[in-house]
Amino acid sequence: MTDKHAAESLIKAARALARKVDTLSFDGSVAYVYNPLHYAWNAHECYLQTYAASQKKVLFLGMNPGPWGMVQTGVPFGEIEAVKNWLGIETKIGKPPREHPKRPVEGFYCSKSEVSGRRLWGLFKERFGTAASFFKDHFVANYCPLVFMESSGRNKTPNTLPAAQTKKLYAACDEHLAKVIDHVHPQWVIGIGAFAAQRLACCIPESSVIKLGRILHPSPASPAANKDWSGAALRQLEALGVW
């Protein structure tokens, strides 16, 4: 079986998720919604084809795309330099139907850097050297593919949306996450931050042998993450027994 065919189930699942979340509506403080699984699909498909073709020991899960990461590259925590130079992915990126003037999608030409992605992929590079070595036993995914913004351009995370708006969103994302777990068949699932760990806990049956863990989110919005995040995350993974 070729790598392309081995990853086909996740590619189909991602396409289905993109279609489902497109049917949802968001109001109130949500003024803009970006879906990188559409306008950055080529890059995301390349990521899945290249790195999701086999079972893994560890699945890392993030919350949703960041404005200078997956929004620009279509790859979870997709800090541009890491995606281009470590993951070896660079494709043409399109545009969302409605674009906030303060949050343009410039793809791999974007000059800004996603701190969370730089920290996360930096840790993996330091630990494993090459992307091929890391992805031999690990995979990184996001729970929700959508980006939410206020009229000011300020980012809104899924957990800040009203419950009435997240019910269908979480149902679609839970279904997709279950498919990712089934495909990757990990021994460990690691939530990058509290929200991701909570969604993982909801999607793993109590009878499952899969082990659940959590590491500190690398976002600079977290004061704790700005004090040697990589060292803190490494200690957490070693304490869990993941590494």
Largest CA distance in the chain: 48
Question: Among 6-10, 17-21, 83-87, whose mean pLDDT is lowest?
Answer: 6-10
- pTM of this prediction exceeds 0.85: yes
Cβ 138 vs Cβ 60: under 8 Å? yes
Q: What is the mean pLDDT of residues 79-96?
A: 97
HSE-up of residue 17 (Cα within 13 Å, Cβ side): 28
Q: What is the mean pLDDT of the chain?
A: 95
Residue 3 pLDDT greater than 70, yes or no:
no
Q: What is the CATH number of the domain that holds 207?
A: 3.40.470.10
Q: Do residues 101 and 87 touch, judged by C-beta distance below 8 A?
A: no
Domain span including residue 62: 3-240
% pLDDT > 90, the chain: 93
Structure tokens at 198: 């909570």
pLDDT in the model for residue 4? 57
**pLDDT tens for each residue of 24-46:** 999 889 999 999 999 999 999 99
Taking only the tens place, the pLDDT of each residue in 128-156 is: 999 999 999 999 999 999 999 999 999 99
32 vs 67: CA distance, rounded Å = 12
pLDDT, tens digit, 9 for 90 and up, residues 161-209: 999 999 999 999 999 999 999 999 999 999 999 999 999 999 998 878 9
Rounded to the nearest 5 percent, the helix, strand and coil shares of the chain are: 50, 10, 40
Task: Give pLDDT, residue 158.
Answer: 95
Kindly state the average pLDDT of the residues 113-133.
97
d(CA 138, CA 217): 17
pLDDT at 2 over 50: no
Q: Are 145 and 18 in contact (CB under 8 A)?
A: yes
DSSP structural state of residue 80? H
What is the total count of domains within the chain? 1
Residue 47 has pLDDT above 90, yes or no: yes
The predicted structure's pLDDT at residue 11:
96
